[in-house]
Chain A
Amino acid sequence: MTQSGQDNKSIDLNQFNQVFFEECAEHLAEMEQILVSLDDAGPDDEQLNAIFRAAHSIKGGAGIFGFQDMTVVTHVLESLLDRIRNREIPFSPAMVDLFLEAGDVISMQLAGHRDGADVSQEAIDRIRGKLQQVIDSGAVATAPEAGDSIAAIAEELPLQPESAASSPDCHCFELEFRPDPDIFKRGTRLESLFAELEELGELTVAAELPANLDFSELDPESCFCCWRMTLVTASSEADIREIFEFVAEEDQLKVREIWESSAANNPVSAPEAPAVAVVDAVTPGETFGQAASGAADPSAGRRAYDKNELAPGAYGRRGSEAESSIRVGVTKVDQLINQVGELVITQLMLAQTAAALDPVLHENLHRSLLQLERNTRDLQQSVMSIRLVPISIVFSRFPRLVRELASKLGKQVELKTIGDTTELDKGLIEKISDPLTHLVRNCLDHALETPAARIAAGKEPGGTITLRASQTGGRIVIDVIDDGAGLNREKILAKAAERGIPSSDSMSDEEVWQLIFAPGFSTAEAVTDISGRGVGMDVVLRNVQSMSGKVAIVSQPGQGTRVTISLPLTLAILDGLSVAVGDEKFIVPLNSIIESLQPNSASLKTVNGKSVVLVRGDYIPIIPLYELFNLPARVTDPEKGILVLIDVDGEKAAVLVDALLDEHQVVIKSIETNYRKVDGTAGATILGDGRVALILDVTSLLQMRNRN
């Protein structure tokens, strides 16, 4: 296929392209995950097969969808992996970096097709050359030549030698093909399969039937036959196996090279008569090539999971996923969530209307409305759960980051992840990625010591970074823990003083640790390309706060540091308290409320011209909402209103409102999309009476107050 996927106008391939892009990204992620998990012992067979499958699936998909350029690297990568798998080239730890680099190049090509990102042909040529070099240095005579162009590779894939026997590099393979009994039922045409084989060279086929089979009892649609073939070809074993990849399990196809006529003309084994003259019957336990050689060939087959094309896992489908999940666009899910949100509002309206009706006279209506409320709530939770995705999506990117940075810094680091299956909203997943990356980089660069320093401190030479996620109450808690040197209190205080950040020796540890969130704060002695520019922790804090999250630090000198990020489960709904200010209603997020109180005159003071309220020894500034939003006030005297105490990262404020109304779970609507940005708000919601209420952004409220 040479036509570009985008050029094909006969059918709209875009929707299929998207599936390919997603699957390709998953294959790359899977490949990377396995590669970074490898130790010096190298991959086991299953891991090698998995990496191979990923590379092969990408190549196959790219070919099918017309992204021929993506088959260039994958083809050479696949060839190398196949040789490693077949023990023709020994695995070495250095290959991990090579494969990771190849994955990066394929990712780059993927991004090029998907997002129109720049693609470096130089990088493609470089990695292809490196991979080919490994293949060549492995002295594999049958290694396919990586051509100088995409076309060369594309033409190479279907090898069709006119006369294999006359080829200078000619092999004779003996094949034993014992298909799955269901192969006919699946519609596989063996004639086509054998025809493909015949295209490789001179093929001789002999079918063998089992010796003792009760004719009247057999299943006529079942395959009970075994085929023995000899193939004289210039192609490699990999080319042969590729033909069988969708029809044969590992143990269903055995390939053995009987002889090879290369330049040196050294037979692999003595040429023998083709297997046409076969034994009278083959029993199931009989081993392949038994008569010719005592040593069974351990060559591994391909696509062991492709047992049944109708079954999960066939044709490279991920088993359970293919059957138990479907891909749905995020916009569709959001649309559904939005509609359920509307339904919740409608239900609230009904409830509010019904509240005015006599509960005795309208008992049935009230009962039905209660049922509706329960059902709506359940539906809302179910729909919200669709947007939840496991945090492993984020965690999975760190093994490689840690591996590479640790290597660069000369440190020994083990990364542990706990709670990978913890789910949180897709929107949060996207936003939490950067803060976590900053934290992990900081751990590597600053927190964890070098092996020598660790040994000197009586520690193991290798440090540990732990990423732990869990759901606690209505929040997701993510810990980034290291067993490094811990934060240096004196250094932080000195740096704070140097930068003019208010600080004192009497500050508690918790307060000192908070100083590192100041913009531009860094105690790093050297700015590296990893961290140390002081643009990390303030970005972490800002990003987390933008998700209504919190960051806390616990650190022990010499023992390590734990940074805890706490996030709401979702950004689409919110537990809030509705309050009245004049004729308007506002929603205050419940998670920021400490308490509500009606102050007496003794507790109200004025400090520097600003009203404060004394609560258990603390003077807390009062924020009159009517002033901030320029509303006609009913209550201006705090004594006559209600003060809602809020806490934002340790900073407290008392919001003056007319009255507390009700506690709601509200559906957050973007006010910017529908109106414009309103300072001090995080969005809006529609209340049961159909009115719009602004949702307060308490962080922004404090900033507004400070500005005023």
Chain B
Amino acid sequence: MISETQEVLKISLSGDWSMSGITEKFPQLVQYFERLAGSDACGECQAGSSGGVPEIDLADVTDFDACGCQLLAQFIRNLRHNGIEAQLTNISDAFRSRIQFLGFERELNLPL
């Protein structure tokens, strides 16, 4: 489930972000993208609690595969094209190594 903090800039992802659950997650991610990428939302982003960088919290994500990685990476890339640099937070070691293994660390803005 995707949730939003009061400041709107923290997006908490939860549940299954693998191929089997991605379709369910996608519509909400689109909504967030449209909100963040919109001019009003961008203003909010820039004034965010983490210095204008929206946070994508993976703490409650239970599964994460290449399909989920790809979607999230595309989400972040499209935000970047709209001038928004999002940052993943609360990445478990397992997910971090999987992201690296799949070669998404650069696209997901993970420190090498």
Binding partners A and B: yes
Chain A positions 162-190 with a Cβ under 8 Å from a chain B Cβ? 184-185, 187, 189-190
Total residues of chain B contacting the partner, CB 8 A? 26
| A194, A213, A221 pick with most chain B CB within 10 angstroms | A221
> Which B-chain residue is minimally distant from A225 (CB atoms)?
B70
Verify if A209 is at the interface (C-beta below 8 Å from B). Answer: yes
Spot the interface stretch: B3-11, B48-56, B84-92, B98-106.
Answer: B98-106
CB distance from B5 to the nearest CB of A (A): 22
Q: With A and B bound together, what is the CA distance between A645 and B30 in angstroms?
A: 88
> Which B-chain residue is minimally distant from A217 (CB atoms)?
B30
Verify if A526 is at the interface (C-beta below 8 Å from B). Answer: no
Chain B positions 39-88 with a Cβ under 8 Å from a chain A Cβ? 65-67, 69-71, 73-75, 77-78
Interface contact A207-B26, CB-CB below 8 Å: no
> Which A-chain residue is minimally distant from B73 (CB atoms)?
A209
CB distance from B22 to the nearest CB of A (A): 5
Q: A194-B102, A221-B67, A223-B67 are in contact. Are A207 and B73 (CB under 8 A)?
A: yes
CB distance from A15 to the nearest CB of B (A): 33
Contact count A vs B, C-beta below 8 Å: 70
| A220, A225, A229 pick with most chain B CB within 10 angstroms | A220
> Which B-chain residue is minimally distant from A215 (CB atoms)?
B78
Q: With A and B bound together, what is the CA distance between A224 and B30 in angstroms?
A: 17
- In the bound complex, residues from chain B placing their C-beta under 8 Å from that of A208 are 107
Interface contact B23-A209, CB-CB below 8 Å: no
CB distance from A277 to the nearest CB of B (A): 9
The residue that B30 contacts in the complex, of A184, A206, A216, A221, with Cβ under 8 A, is: A216
Interface contact A191-B106, CB-CB below 8 Å: no
| A213, A218, A228, A229 pick with most chain B CB within 10 angstroms | A218
Interface contact B74-A209, CB-CB below 8 Å: yes
The residue that A205 contacts in the complex, of B22, B73, B103, with Cβ under 8 A, is: B103
Verify if B33 is at the interface (C-beta below 8 Å from A). Answer: yes
Verify if A227 is at the interface (C-beta below 8 Å from B). Answer: yes
Q: B interface, by DSSP: helix, strand, loop or mixed?
A: helix
- In the bound complex, residues from chain B placing their C-beta under 8 Å from that of A189 are 65-66
Chain A positions 383-426 with a Cβ under 8 Å from a chain B Cβ? none
Q: A206-B106, A213-B74 are in contact. Are A221 and B34 (CB under 8 A)?
A: no
Query: For this complex, into which size category does the number of interface residues on chain A fall?
Result: 20 to 34
In the complex, per-residue mask of A186-206: 1 if CB is within 8 Å of any chain B CB, else 0: 010111001000000000111
CB distance from A228 to the nearest CB of B (A): 8
- In the bound complex, residues from chain B placing their C-beta under 8 Å from that of A207 are 69-70, 73, 102-104, 106-107
Q: With A and B bound together, what is the CA distance between A218 and B33 in angstroms?
A: 13
The residue that A216 contacts in the complex, of B23, B33, B77, with Cβ under 8 A, is: B33
- In the bound complex, residues from chain B placing their C-beta under 8 Å from that of A224 are 70, 74
Interface contact A209-B70, CB-CB below 8 Å: yes
Q: A194-B101, A209-B70 are in contact. Are A215 and B33 (CB under 8 A)?
A: yes
The residue that B22 contacts in the complex, of A187, A213, A220, with Cβ under 8 A, is: A220
CB distance from B91 to the nearest CB of A (A): 16
Q: A184-B19, A189-B65, A207-B107 are in contact. Are A218 and B102 (CB under 8 A)?
A: no
Q: With A and B bound together, what is the CA distance between A143 and B34 in angstroms?
A: 55
In the complex, per-residue mask of A216-257: 1 if CB is within 8 Å of any chain B CB, else 0: 101011011101110000000000000000000000000000
Q: With A and B bound together, what is the CA distance between A190 and B22 in angstroms?
A: 16
- In the bound complex, residues from chain B placing their C-beta under 8 Å from that of A191 are 65-66, 98, 101-102
> Which A-chain residue is minimally distant from B37 (CB atoms)?
A215
- In the bound complex, residues from chain A placing their C-beta under 8 Å from that of B69 are 207
Q: A213-B78, A216-B33 are in contact. Are A221 and B103 (CB under 8 A)?
A: no
Interface contact A220-B23, CB-CB below 8 Å: yes
| B70, B71, B101, B103 pick with most chain A CB within 10 angstroms | B103
Q: A184-B67, A216-B33 are in contact. Are A190 and B74 (CB under 8 A)?
A: no
Interface contact A221-B102, CB-CB below 8 Å: no
21 residue pairs bridging A and B, Cβ less than 8 Å apart: A184-B67, A189-B65, A191-B102, A194-B101, A204-B103, A205-B101, A205-B102, A205-B103, A206-B106, A207-B70, A207-B102, A207-B107, A209-B74, A209-B107, A213-B78, A215-B78, A220-B67, A221-B67, A225-B70, A227-B103, A278-B106
Q: Knowing that A184-B66, A207-B102, A220-B25 are A-B contacts, what are 5 other residue pairs whose CB atoms are under 8 Å apart, sorted by A's residue number?
A: A190-B66, A209-B74, A221-B19, A224-B70, A229-B103
Which 9 residue pairs are nearest across A and B when measured between Cβ atoms? A205-B103, A220-B26, A207-B103, A190-B66, A215-B78, A206-B103, A184-B67, A220-B22, A216-B30
